[in-house]
Amino acid sequence: MPRRSSLRHALLGRAMAAGWFATCLLASGPLPAQVLGVALDGKARMSNGEVEILKTPAPDRVAFYDTAVEPWRPLGEAAVPTSFQGPPSSVAISADRREALVTAFTRADPERAGAFTANHTMAVIDLAATPLRVSQTLTLAAAPSSVSLHPDGRHAWVPHTGADSVSVLEKRADRWEVIDVVRFEAGSAPIAAGFSADGAHALLSLPGSGRIAWLAVAEGRPVLPAVHELSAGIGPTALSFCGATGLAVVANYGKVTGDVDTISLIDTRGALPRVIDTTSVGISPEGVACAPDGRHAAAALQNMSTMPRSHPLHSTHSRLVVLAIESGRLRPVAEAELGGWAQGVGFLDDSRTVFAQSMIEHRVHAFRLEGDTLTPRPDLSFKAGSPAAYGLSGR
pLDDT of residue 33: 81
CA distance 134 to 100: 9
Contact between 307 and 318 under an 8 Å Cβ cutoff? The reply is no
Q: Is the pTM higher than 0.85?
A: yes
* 117-to-8, 28, 121, 124 alpha-carbon distances in Å: 15, 38, 13, 21
- Rg, C-alpha atoms of the chain: 19
Q: Per-residue pLDDT for 31 more than 70?
A: no
Domain edges within the chain:
6-392
Share of the chain above pLDDT 70, in %: 91
Identify the DSSP state of 393.
Answer: B
Q: How many CA atoms does the CB half-sphere of 62 hold within 13 Å?
A: 38
Q: Per-residue pLDDT for 308 more than 70?
A: yes
Q: Which amino acid is at 204?
A: L
CA distance 384 to 366: 19
Q: Per-residue pLDDT for 14 more than 70?
A: no
CA distance 83 to 106: 6
Q: Which fold has domain 6-392?
A: Methylamine Dehydrogenase; Chain H (2.130.10)
pLDDT single digits (tens) 256-299: 999 999 999 999 998 899 999 999 999 999 999 999 999 999 99
Q: Which of 237, 256, 9, 40 has the alpha carbon at shortest distance from 117?
A: 9
Which residues have a Cβ under 8 Å from the Cβ of 345 and sit 6 or more positions away?
88, 287, 288, 289, 298, 299, 300, 320, 354, 355, 356, 357
By mean pLDDT, which of 16-20, 119-123, 232-236 is the weakest? 16-20
pLDDT single digits (tens) 74-99: 999 999 999 999 999 999 999 999 99
The per-residue DSSP string of 198-245 comes to TSSEEEEEETTTTEEEEEEEETTEEEEEEEEEE--SSSEEEEEE-TTS
